[in-house]
Chains A and B, each alone.
Chain A
Amino acid sequence: MDVTESHLSSKEAQLIKRVCGGEPQAFEELVRPYERLVYATAISILKNPQDAEEVAQEAVLKAFVHLSSFRSESKFSTWLVQIAFNEARMKLRKDRPHLYESIDTQQQDAEGDYWPRDFADWRPIPSELLETDQAREGLENAINSLSPRYREVVVLRDVENLSIKDTAVILGISEGSVKTRLHRGRLILRDLLSPGIAGRWRTEKQ
């Protein structure tokens, strides 16, 4: 394995060498920073915590078993997340083929312009909003109500703070498509979460 590429941090390259060289305990250190990313990837497709945990763990185990086939032209995290995506999509296809179908046959990105549902003023930043379970549930429900094409991009880019480029590589789409989908997803969320009347959270489906 060539681990001299710049995509790989030297620390990660060393950890990978150690695992492949017969020190499996180094794998934990390699993967730990990305546990959340892998889990969030799985939940962005499967929507429920039990399925997401099962798939996230399967993906990490797969990465462990196949680590020697990792090629360092990509980042380790990108490779790991791609495995999680594939695992999650396979599970969806197996358990809920009707939902998988809807992802598979999705139309192109929405065309036409976005029109805000309202102009509610959000200027006071609701930083402590998520302190309540009700608010966090509202936020997660809103994200889950997005169609998969928007949800996947929003989760990778905004929940997990990946770059536009990494998001594009993981999803196998252009950076332009990432931007288009992100734009639409963010503005739909704004409509869904608009403070509205008496600051109530609205989480109805689009």
Chain B
Amino acid sequence: MEWIVKGDDAMSIIEISCVEVWREISNYLDGEISAELRERLRAHFEVCDHCTAVLDGARNVVQLVGDGRTFPMPEGFSARLYKKINALR
């Protein structure tokens, strides 16, 4: 895939391809990359709408699944659990 860029001088700023960016998106979100790589990714996101869309989508996924409402506990779970434990005591 060719680099997706906009602006005449974008190529001089981007030192990382879209494919390489996608490879690091999850680590970027978790802060699990070096400061140098982070900077290169940041520069890429500034000029590449497609990669920014992938990044925003991945970030939204992390927010959505982690908002505490995914897989809600069945009602009465605690009561049933401690009843069983009390029966063992």
Contact = CB atoms under 8 A, between A and B. Distances in A.
Contacts, number: 125
Given A35-B81, A61-B84, A119-B54, A113 B19 contact: yes
A152 to B, nearest CB: 13
A60 B54 CA distance: 40
Interface size class of A (residues with CB under 8 A): 35 or more
Contacts of A109: none
Contacts of A187: 22, 25-26, 54, 58
**Residue from A24, A32, A61, A119 whose CB has the most chain B CB atoms within 10 Å:** A119
Contacts of A27: 85
Interface in A54-74: 56-57, 60-61, 64-65
Given A136-B70, A179-B32, A187-B26, A143 B65 contact: yes
Nearest to A181: B26
Nearest to B85: A64
Determine the main DSSP class of A at the interface with B.
Answer: helix
A125 B64 CA distance: 9
Given A60-B85, A159-B71, A186 B56 contact: no
Given A116-B22, A158-B66, A64 B88 contact: yes
21 contacts: A28-B85, A35-B77, A35-B81, A39-B73, A53-B74, A53-B77, A57-B77, A57-B81, A57-B84, A64-B85, A123-B56, A126-B60, A130-B69, A140-B71, A154-B65, A159-B71, A182-B30, A186-B29, A186-B58, A193-B57, A193-B61
Interface of B: 1, 19, 22-23, 25-27, 29-30, 32, 49-50, 53-54, 56-58, 60-67, 69-71, 73-74, 77-78, 80-82, 84-85, 88-89
Interface of A: 24, 27-28, 32, 35-36, 39-40, 43, 49, 53, 56-57, 60-61, 64-65, 113-116, 119-123, 125-127, 129-130, 136, 139-140, 143, 154-155, 158-159, 161, 164, 179, 182-183, 186-187, 189-190, 193-194
